[in-house]
């Protein structure tokens, strides 16, 4: 699409207002007011309205150039004719109007062709040679040719430079958009890789069946908590399902898996969000309660035990599957200062709960010396 701008715009402003200074000269000559009035109105409508809103829209085709240059050439000739012909004070200077139009629309060749038409019109239509003489008309013609060549060359160069700048701007914009798109794709890929890494890391520490943390995470978490700066209490509960083998034998392993999942959910719902519930292995679970003292941890263990005992884990016809759990409890650093002893103490308390009849919570501190040495 052709866009008017730069030198073109300045030239078109000059063309649009070129006739205004001549209005002051009309006072000194005789003219047909009605004809001149219609002529001025037509010039205004064509050059100020029709040209900018129609001819400059879309591609600047040859017929548009010929139409605009031809009409301006005709308007210039009529204006000169109405104001006195070759004797008019506007002759031949008003013929600069179509030459300027040709410069704006095209370049050197359009300007030269229009200048040739102006010379023919001045010499043969108005017979300027008879009024001013051949040398004068030759000088005027040479001046018009030089003006058309210089203006046409300057405007053509300016237009080419502007087009190159526009093309460069478009290429830069395209390159920027492609770069931005590549950056977005790279960012999306990076986010995808990060999400995949996070997912893989999460899967690596998650039990596939219950979706609790697994034994690996249990070890890593204990290590980090026990070695953290500043000693903070950490209560550990070990929990085991009573008679789980009998459940599998009687109800099947599929029901046994459902029991593990349901118990995992009950335990997670009973503890706080920052407490860690782990499937330690098989039917055994571990619950870590950071910054909870022994009394508080015992209350949590009792709630888990009671909730498990009150739950129907599976039902088939009139048969209900209920179960109980045994729990052992110890605390760091009051009862031990290392990880292995902490796990061992909780295990000993849990096995003592099973020896005492199951479905109960036993504290490591309540074990006698023989149980602690096991």
Active site residue 283: yes
The region of weakest confidence among 81-90, 207-216, 261-270, 364-373 is 81-90
Tokens of 46: 């064509």
Catalytic residue among 223, 283, 284, 320, which? 283
pLDDT at 48: 59
Query: Do residues 31 and 84 touch, judged by C-beta distance below 8 A?
Result: yes
pLDDT of 1 > 50? The answer is: no
pLDDT at 270: 95
The domain ranges of the chain are 7-171, 215-372
pLDDT at 289: 96
Average pLDDT value for residue range 70-93: 73
Average pLDDT value for residue range 73-88: 74
> Distance between CA 303 and CA 275 in Å, rounded?
14
Domain 215-372 in this protein, CATH class: alpha beta
pLDDT tens, position by position, 220-271: 999 999 888 887 899 999 999 999 999 999 999 999 999 999 999 999 999 9
Average pLDDT value for residue range 289-311: 96
Name the phi and psi angles at 281, rounded to 5: 160, 135
> Distance between CA 303 and CA 310 in Å, rounded?
11
Q: Which residues pair with 325 in a beta bridge?
A: 241
Buried b (16+ CB within 10 A) or exposed e, 187-220: eeeeeeeeeeeeeeeeeebbbeebebbbeebbee
Q: Which of 242, 269, 278 is nearest to 361 (CA)?
A: 242
pLDDT of 291 > 60? The answer is: yes
Q: Outline where the chain has alpha helix (H).
A: 7-16, 33-43, 62-82, 96-105, 108-120, 128-132, 134-204, 215-226, 244-251, 253-270, 294-309, 339-355, 369-372
């Amino acid at each position: 699409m052709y866009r008017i701008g730069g030198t073109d715009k300045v030239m078109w402003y000059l063309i649009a207002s070129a006739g205004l200074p001549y209005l002051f000269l009309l006072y000194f000559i005789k003219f047909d007011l009605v004809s001149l009035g219609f002529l001025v109105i037509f010039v205004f409508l064509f050059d100020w309205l029709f040209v900018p809103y129609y001819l400059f829209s879309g591609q600047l085709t040859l017929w548009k150039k010929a139409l605009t240059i031809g009409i301006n050439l005709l308007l210039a000739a009529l204006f000169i004719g109405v104001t006195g012909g070759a004797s008019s004070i506007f002759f031949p200077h008003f013929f600069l109007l179509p030459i300027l139009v040709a410069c704006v629309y095209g370049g050197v060749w359009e300007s030269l062709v229009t200048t040739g038409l102006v010379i023919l019109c001045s010499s043969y239509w108005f017979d300027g040679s008879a009024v001013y003489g051949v040398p004068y008309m030759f000088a005027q013609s040479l001046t018009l040719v030089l003006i058309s060549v210089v203006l046409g060359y300057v405007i053509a160069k300016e237009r080419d430079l502007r087009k190159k700048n526009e093309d460069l701007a478009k290429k830069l914009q395209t390159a920027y958009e492609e770069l931005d798109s590549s950056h977005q794709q790279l960012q999306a890929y990076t986010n995808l890789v990060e999400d995949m890494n996070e997912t893989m890391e999460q899967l690596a520490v998650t039990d596939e069946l219950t979706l609790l943390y697994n034994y690996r995470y249990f070890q890593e978490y204990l290590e980090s908590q026990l070695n953290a700066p500043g000693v903070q209490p950490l209560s550990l509960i070990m929990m085991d399902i009573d008679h789980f083998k009998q459940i599998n034998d009687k109800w099947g392993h599929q029901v046994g898996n459902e029991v593990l999942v349901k118990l995992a959910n009950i335990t997670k719902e009973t503890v706080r969000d920052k407490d860690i519930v782990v499937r330690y292995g098989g039917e055994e679970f571990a619950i870590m309660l950071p910054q909870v003292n022994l009394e508080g941890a015992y209350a949590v263990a009792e709630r888990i035990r009671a909730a498990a005992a009150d739950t129907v884990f599976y039902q088939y016809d009139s048969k209900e599957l209920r179960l109980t759990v045994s729990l052992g409890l110890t605390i760091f650093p009051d009862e031990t200062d290392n990880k292995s002893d902490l796990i061992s103490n909780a295990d000993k308390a849990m096995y003592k709960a099973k020896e005492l009849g199951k479905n109960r919570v036993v504290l490591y501190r309540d074990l006698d010396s023989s149980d602690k040495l096991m």
